Structure 1
């Protein structure tokens, strides 16, 4: 089974997936990187030139490809959970983990993230908080919730996720 990481922007999906890949048999797949490679332009450029609808359609195609891979940890974009088909495809071959911080954690990470996150460019904290709250029910539809707090390392989250996977796989064998 694959490991799928979901979560709002700036929750640590990329860093935690790298840590999982470094200490396990799972190869790393980042869906945003797959999109950039496929389209030949950055995520910001896709949003600017083609719009969010085009990005989400492309993201859906990439998710389907990623879900067909084996023994991978998949870092997804923050909005991947908004499309039910994405979740269905990912769940066929993977266990979906939601990285779940309080908004205070997100708020602290926003200033740096504003440089690289397309939906943040001209967004107010109030709009970001609303998006965070609006997406909560979609994140709640994941298999496991991992609480993201200040001061934990990506490796500690990776170990927690790998322990859950090991326990789950052991239970499935019985």
Structure 2
């Protein structure tokens, strides 16, 4: 039974914000994969990347998703690179629906420009670099996303309400009561 909702998308597309609203209106448990990994490793993400490298971090994401196979009624905000591994997409689809949030490079930059917790963007905080990285990942996102929601200029609560209605449709058959 698919009962989890996985939010994917590039960093700064609103995954954490929309998932927080979605949890509030559905009563589902909200989980942020990056926060869970930080807690588990007792280290910030930039430190994990610096000390162990990206591959180690990606392995932690996969292990997290394996643990999700026994959990239900969760809203999971996934790290931006979670879908880069086909195994991760398969694990998510086993227990839930994958929702892709999108935004323009300009919107992403506006949302992330003051953050320091995004090691992939450190030293590259500009729309040209963001656009290039988005284009590299676009095929992964589009292949994984079962529902696509553009987030530019939209309120997170409105998107969460729209998504809830979509998930209650016969196509997905979620029951939030």
TM-score between the two structures when normalised by the length of structure 2: 0.89
Q: Considering fraction of residues, name the structure with more helix.
A: 1
TM-score between the two structures when normalised by the length of structure 1: 0.91
> What residue ranges of structure 2 are gaps of 5+ in the alignment?
none
Shift of 1:33: 1.3
- Whether the 8 Å CA contact 1:31–1:66 is kept in 2: the answer is no
- Whether the 8 Å CA contact 2:12–2:108 is kept in 1: the answer is yes
- 1:69-88 correspondence runs (5 A): 69-88=71-90
Shift of 1:66: 2.6
Instruction: Summarize deviations over 1:55-113 as a string: whole Å, max 9, x none.
Output: 11111111221343100001000000100000000000100000011222113223123
User: For the residues of structure 1 that align with 2:106 and 2:99, how far apart are their CA atoms?
Assistant: 20
1:36 maps onto 2:38 in alignment: yes
Shift of 1:39: 0.7
The CA RMSD over aligned residues, in Å, is 1.7
> What residue ranges of structure 1 are gaps of 5+ in the alignment?
none
Shift of 1:3: 0.7
- 1:25-64 correspondence runs (5 A): 25-64=27-66
Shift of 1:170: 4.0
User: For the residues of structure 2 that align with 1:99 and 1:146, how far apart are their CA atoms?
Assistant: 5
> Matched residue pairs, number?
170
